[in-house]
Chain A
Amino acid sequence: MAESVLRLEAVRKSYNVGQPNEAEVLHGISAELQAGEFVALVGPSGSGKSTLLNIVGLLERPTGGEVFIRGENATALDEAGVTRLRGRTLGFVFQFHHLIPAFSALENVMMPQIIDRGRPEPAMAANARELLARVGLADKAASRPNQLSGGQQQRVAIARALAARPALVLADEPTGNLDSKSADDVFALMREFNQEQGIAFLLVTHDPRLAARCDRVIELFDGRVVDGATVA
């Protein structure tokens, strides 16, 4: 049986707790992702997709329920422990690539490992070069993000998300601001890494075409998982 990389148990999230405008946006979400799964998270705007992704990404804490990453209860960890767990097990691909302009493409890809180990090592550069080659940007290693096209930047961001060999990559509309050709390339690339290396992906998307190409779809509506939406 496959190993569980993510398990959510009755996760709730409220904003402005204790104030008159207190609002619960997630009303008890339970879900599980197995290693190597490629899952789409869909739902209309305001359904709580981004909030859920932030909670899974350990960037926000839930107000109730528990989050397990690779069996480790992240809700029980302190700030430093959460940061460490995030750095070692999770990779991020944002809608707007979010590369760091002060660093070259190669350095951006190396960054998660540099943070993890405290300083650059020769092996990291080799690993980053390999990843850049895999995403078809071997010749752009020395380029700054602002010298790359949108699709190229997003491919660098994917390489960066994979650099530290995470168990789970979280992608927030990674193809949202790309033309359809680039979007297809980027999606294909993520699928490739998923199938070759067994890295699990949780992909927030608006695009039903992309969702259909995933292993499974989790649909959110008004802060709840819509039953029966799971596509085999």
Chain B
Amino acid sequence: MIPLPFAWLVALRFLREGRMQTALILSGVTAGVAVIIFLTALIEGLQANIIARTLGTQPHVVVRPVEDAARPVMERTGPPVAAVIEKRAQRLRSIDQWERVVPVIEATPGVVAVSPMVSGPAFAVRGNASKSVALLGVEPERYLRVVKFRDYMVAGEFRLSGTDALIGVDLSRDLGVTLGDKLRIASSQNRDDVVTIVGIFDVGNKEVNQRWVFLPLRLTQNLLDLVGGVSNIDATVERLFDAETVARRVEAQTGLQAESWMQTNAQLLSALKNQTLTNRLIRGFVILIVALGIASVLVVSVVQKSKEIGILRAMGASRRNIMSVFLLQGAVYGFAGSLAGVLLGFGLVSAFSGVFRNPDGSVFFKPAVDLEIVVSACITALLIGLVAAALPARRASRLDPVTAIRNG
């Protein structure tokens, strides 16, 4: 064994000697770190869950043509002629030259997948029953890269060619149709076609299950009288929370309108942000309490050990030596406590991941051992230990040896 340097030797011996103090403060640090780990895992799990649910059927970024706007009759500089400019009704339009736009969006940094789509209103008719639906014309391979729709299929599969159609479970119940049945789709452009149901999905949202009908892109273009056109382009981004930045980038590149999921779900996002803030606040307070605990234990320890400090100083130990002895004790409290806290925290996470469950019974959050959290927790605790020890260590190093030996 390599012999320990002087400061380590004395620090560890002092820690061992004050067994009770050491045990108490270590449990304090352990509990604090465990709370942080557990809370962070819980909130991150919760948020990931909510986001996964929200974005289950939504693309990260939707690119649309710029809205039609009424142009003022007069020059901008002249006196206003009409006080009120009526907004124009937005007609269904194709993105201009979308085949050229798609590669531009694909090349935008942060974008990982792009899927053109044509969508519009129609009716699904079977016998006397007719339901109002939303048509979504997509290229299946591209679309599946943007939205993981395959997971929602309860019957058949996600494939679209010729006159294939995919409908939701609620629509299939309403119309009394199932796999292999035929259905007539009539659009408001007075076009209609007969499609065959090849798949049924359930996304867990009644509105979507009742209204969405997936058709091949070409067929939908015909039905909506938008031959060769697409109404919007969906994109997936690499990092979820970069969606807004990527959307602005796409706008700049294409001159089209791009909307991120963060704009569409602004309310959800602000709720998530508040939650994260609360978590940070709690974390900050726990860190403060841990630091105060370490500092107060060391202040007492300096008083208890003042005689020993005086003797060591008389035998040639420098102020810096003495300071190191107490800084090291703080560091050991922080580091050892955080290691134990990480273990306890993950223990709690895996114990509770069996308790918290989604409505469908799946686990709410996965007890993942995130090495990054472990390392950052230990480093943070180490630094906190050092900072907390700074004041007591300074006091120890400034003790006058004569007074310390006489009064100790």
Contacts and interface: CB of A to CB of B under 8 A. Distances in A.
Interface of A: 54, 57, 59-60, 79-80, 83-84, 86-88, 92, 94, 98, 100-103, 111-112, 114-116, 118-121, 160, 164
A27 to B, nearest CB: 20
A114 B10 CA distance: 11
Contact of A118 (B5, B14, B16, B312): B5
Contact of B316 (A60, A102, A116, A120): A116
Contacts of A86: 314, 316
A92 B314 contact: yes
8 contacts: A59-B314, A80-B318, A83-B316, A83-B317, A88-B316, A102-B308, A115-B315, A115-B321
Contacts of B405: 94, 98
Contact of B317 (A102, A103, A115): A115
Contacts of A115: 6, 312, 315-317, 321
A57 B314 contact: yes
Nearest to B15: A102
Given A98-B405, A102-B16, A120-B4, 9 more contacts: A60-B402, A83-B317, A87-B317, A98-B307, A100-B308, A102-B13, A114-B9, A115-B316, A118-B5
B17 interface: yes
Interface string B120-137: 000000000000000000
Most buried by A among B5, B6, B17, B316: B316
A120 B9 contact: yes
B218 interface: no
B78 interface: no
Contacts of B311: 94, 98, 100
Tell me what chain B mostly uses at the interface: helix, strand, loop, or mixed. helix
Contacts of A116: 316
Contacts of B116: none
A72 B55 CA distance: 80
Interface residues of B, number: 25
Contact of A112 (B308, B315, B319): B315
A87 B318 CA distance: 9
A83 B313 contact: yes
B161 to A, nearest CB: 77
Contact of A54 (B17, B312, B321, B402): B402
B189 to A, nearest CB: 88
Interface string B271-311: 00000000000000000000000000000000000011001
A115 B317 CA distance: 6
Contacts of A94: 311, 405
B315 A59 contact: no
B199 interface: no
A149 B252 CA distance: 87
Contact of A92 (B315, B318, B319): B315
Contacts of A103: 13
Complex A-B, nearest 5 residue pairs according to Cβ-Cβ distance, in ascending order:
A87-B316, A102-B13, A120-B3, A102-B17, A112-B315
A176 to B, nearest CB: 14
Contacts of B168: none
Contacts of B313: 59, 83
B401 interface: yes
Contacts of B6: 114-115, 118-119
Contact of A111 (B17, B312, B319): B312
